[in-house]
Chains A and B, each alone.
Chain A
Amino acid sequence: MSVAVRYDCIVIGAGHNGLVCAALLARAGRSVLVLESAEAVGGAACTREFAPGYRVSAGAHLLHMMPSSIVSELALESHGLKFAARSMPTSILTAGGAPQTLGTGLSQADAAQFDAYNERLARFARALVPLFSSVPPRLGTEDWGDRLALLKLGWSVRKLGRRDMRELLRIGGMNVHDLLEESFESQALKGALALDAVLGANFGPRSPGTVLTLLYRLAGESSAGIPGHTLAQPAGGMGALSEALAKAAAGAGVAIRTRSEVRRILVDDDRAIGVELSNGERIGGRAVISNADPKTTFLKLLGAAQLDTGFVRRVHHVRGKGLAAKLHIALKRPPLFAGATEAQLRGRLVLAPSLEYVEHAYNHSKYGEYSAQPALEVTVPTANDASLAPGGHHVMSVVAQYAPYALRGGWTEAARQGFTNAILDQLEALAPGLRESIAAVQLLTPLDLEASFGMSGGHWHHGDLAFDQFLMVRPVPGAAQYRTPLPGLYLCGAGCHPGGGVMGVAGRNAAAQVLKGAA
Chain B
Amino acid sequence: MARPPQDDLDAIIVGAGHNGLVTACYLARAGMKVLVLERQPYIGGAAVSRRLYKDFTYSNCSYVCSLLRPEIMRTLELPKFGLQVIPYEGGCTMMQDGGHLALYDNHDALRREIARHSKRDAEAYDRYSRDVMRQCKFIKPLLLREPPDPTSFKLRDLQELLYLGKRFHGMGEARMYDTLRFWTMSAADFLEEYFESEIVKAHFAGSSIIGTALGPRSPGTAYVLLHHYMGDIDDTVGAWGFARGGMGAISNALGASLQASGGTVRSAAPVERILVKNERAVGVVLEGGEELYAKRVISNLDVRRTFLNCMDAGDLPDEFLTRVRNFKIRGSSGKLNIALDGLPSFPAIPAGSPSIRGDMHVTDTLDMMERAYDDWKDGRWSRAPYIDMLIPSQIDPTMAPNGKHYMSVFVQYCPYELAEGPWNSERRQAFGDTVINTIARQSPDFKDLILHAEIRTPWDIENEVGLTEGNIFQGELTMDQLLFNRPVPGYAQYRSPVKNLYMCGSSTHPGGGVMGAPGANAARAVLRDAGRLN
Interfacial residues, chain A to chain B (CB-CB below 8 A)? 138-141, 158, 162, 165-167, 169-175, 178, 182, 206-209, 317, 319, 356, 359, 363, 366-367, 466-468, 472-473, 477
Contacts and interface: CB of A to CB of B under 8 A. Distances in A.
Given A366-B217, A466-B184, A468-B185, A174 B489 contact: no
B173 A468 contact: no
Given A172-B480, A363-B374, A473 B214 contact: no
B219 interface: yes
A468 B219 contact: yes
A367 B220 contact: no
B189 interface: yes
A141 B172 CA distance: 8
Interface residues of B, number: 37
B209 to A, nearest CB: 13
A299 B179 CA distance: 25
Interface in B359-411: 367, 370-371, 374, 377-378
Contact of B479 (A162, A174, A319, A363): A174
Contact of B220 (A169, A173, A317): A173
Nearest to A173: B479
Contacts of B370: 366-367
B193 A208 contact: no
A319 B151 contact: no
A75 to B, nearest CB: 39
Contact of A209 (B219, B328, B367, B371): B219
Contact of A178 (B178, B193, B328, B489): B328
A82 to B, nearest CB: 41
A170 B490 CA distance: 11
Given A206-B218, A207-B219, A140 B172 contact: yes
A393 to B, nearest CB: 42
A359 B377 contact: yes
B377 A206 contact: yes
Contacts of A473: 177, 180-181
A171 B480 contact: yes
Contacts, number: 94
Top 7 nearest A-B pairs by Cβ distance? A173-B479, A467-B184, A140-B173, A477-B177, A166-B489, A174-B480, A468-B181
A499 B59 CA distance: 50
Contacts of B180: 139, 467-468, 472-473
A359 B151 CA distance: 34
A209 B377 CA distance: 17
Q: Which of B185, B219, B377, B490 has the most CB atoms of chain A within a 10 A radius of its CB?
A: B219
Contacts of B326: 178, 182
Contacts of A366: 217, 367, 370
B174 interface: yes
B208 interface: no
A468 B176 contact: no
B528 interface: no
A141 B177 CA distance: 12
A169 B485 contact: yes
Contacts of B367: 366-367
B189 A468 contact: yes
Interface in B452-498: 478-480, 484-485, 489-490
A208 B478 contact: yes
A359 B490 CA distance: 32
10 contacts: A167-B489, A169-B484, A209-B219, A317-B192, A319-B189, A356-B378, A363-B374, A467-B184, A468-B180, A472-B177
A483 to B, nearest CB: 14
B169 interface: yes
Given A174-B480, A207-B217, A468-B189, 12 more contacts: A139-B169, A139-B177, A140-B169, A140-B176, A169-B150, A169-B151, A172-B479, A208-B214, A208-B219, A467-B219, A468-B181, A468-B184
Interface in B150-164: 150-151
Contact of B489 (A170, A466, A472): A170
Contacts of B219: 207-209, 466-468
Interface in B256-308: none
B229 to A, nearest CB: 20
Nearest to B319: A163
Contacts of A174: 478-480
A166 to B, nearest CB: 4
Contacts of B217: 207, 366
A46 B193 CA distance: 35
Given A174-B480, A207-B219, A366-B217, A165 B151 contact: yes
B490 A166 contact: yes
A207 B151 CA distance: 27
B451 interface: no
A467 B185 CA distance: 7
A41 B178 CA distance: 37
Contacts of A472: 177, 180
Contacts of A468: 180-181, 184-185, 189, 219
A49 B272 CA distance: 72
A166 B485 CA distance: 8
Contacts of A209: 184, 219-220
Given A166-B489, A208-B219, A468-B184, A173 B173 contact: no
A181 B214 CA distance: 17
A140 B171 contact: yes
A136 to B, nearest CB: 11
Given A162-B151, A173-B478, A208 B218 contact: yes
A208 B220 CA distance: 7
Contacts of B480: 170-174, 178, 208
Contacts of B184: 173, 209, 466-468
Contacts of A207: 217-219
B162 to A, nearest CB: 13
B56 to A, nearest CB: 39
B149 to A, nearest CB: 9
A175 B480 CA distance: 9
A467 to B, nearest CB: 3
A340 B54 CA distance: 70
B509 to A, nearest CB: 14
A111 to B, nearest CB: 19
A141 B174 CA distance: 10
Contacts of A138: 173
Nearest to B484: A169
Contact of A170 (B169, B214, B220, B485): B485
A466 B188 CA distance: 14
A467 B328 CA distance: 21
Nearest to B172: A140
A178 B181 CA distance: 23
Contacts of A367: 367, 370-371
A166 B151 contact: yes
Interface string B43-57: 000000000000000
Nearest to A480: B177
Nearest to A476: B177
Nearest to B365: A367
A139 B220 contact: no
A361 to B, nearest CB: 12
B386 to A, nearest CB: 16
A468 B176 CA distance: 12
A126 to B, nearest CB: 18
A319 B188 CA distance: 12
Given A466-B184, A468-B185, A317 B193 contact: yes
Contacts of B178: 477
Contact of B174 (A158, A356, A477): A477
A366 B180 CA distance: 24
Nearest to A477: B177
Nearest to B217: A366
A342 to B, nearest CB: 39
Contacts of B479: 172-174, 208
Nearest to A467: B184
Interface in B115-140: none
Of A171, A173, A317, A466, most buried by chain B (CB within 10 Å of CB) is A173
